[in-house]
Amino acid sequence: MVTSVTSFSRTGLSDWLIQRVTSLVLLAYFIVIAYQLLGSVDYTSWRLLFDQTWMKVFTLMAALSLAAHSWIGLWSVFTDYLTERMLGPKGNVIRLFCQLGASLALVGYVIWVIVIIWS
């Protein structure tokens, strides 16, 4: 049986709210990036932009938001389609492997962003 133990916050309301708040953070971040891209972008200006502390913090917030948002979405997809009901007993094993793979990838991406931005 599918349980909630691997969900992000283990309550439906928190997951739902986190997904909405993170989507707003991502929207704001991508608007800022789009605004920058619409102007003239070269290595120097791009470097100067990401050298500023607010941009580093904003980028980290966006990376964390993307990870949380993706996990909640992927968790919904996995618990819809990769279940015992859909795939038989092997569904639970496949789901756990996919959840493990997705969580490792998301943690990896966040660490990667931190290394790029703060190193």
Partner 1 sequence: MLQVSLYRYNPETDEAPYMQDFSVDTGDRDLMVLDVLELIKADLDGSVTYRRSCREGVCGSDGLNMNGKNGLACITPLSESVKGGKLVIRPLPGLPVIRDLVVDMSLFYAQYEKVQPYLQNPTPAPAIERLQSPEERAQLDGLYECILCACCSTSCPSFWWNPDRFVGPAGLLQAYRFLADSRDTATEDRLAKLDDPFSVFRCHGIQNCVNVCPKGLNPTKAIGHIRTMLLNRAT
Residue from the set 31, 41, 86, 93 that interacts with partner 1 by CB under 8 A: 86
Residue from the set 11, 23, 45, 52 that interacts with partner 1 by CB under 8 A: 11
Tokens of 38: 């619409």
Tokens of 3: 């349980």
Decide if 71 contacts 103 (C-beta within 8 A). yes
Decide if 55 contacts 49 (C-beta within 8 A). yes
User: Using CA atoms, how far apart are residues 50 and 43, in angstroms rounded to an integer?
Assistant: 11
| Binding segment toward partner 1, per CB under 8 A, in 52-60, 61-69, 81-89, 110-118 | 81-89
Residue from the set 36, 83, 99, 103 that interacts with partner 1 by CB under 8 A: 83
| Binding segment toward partner 1, per CB under 8 A, in 23-31, 34-42, 78-86, 104-112 | 78-86
Tokens of 20: 């909405």
User: Which residues contact partner 1 (rule: CB under 8 A)?
Assistant: 1-2, 4, 7, 10-13, 15-17, 75-76, 79-81, 83, 85-86
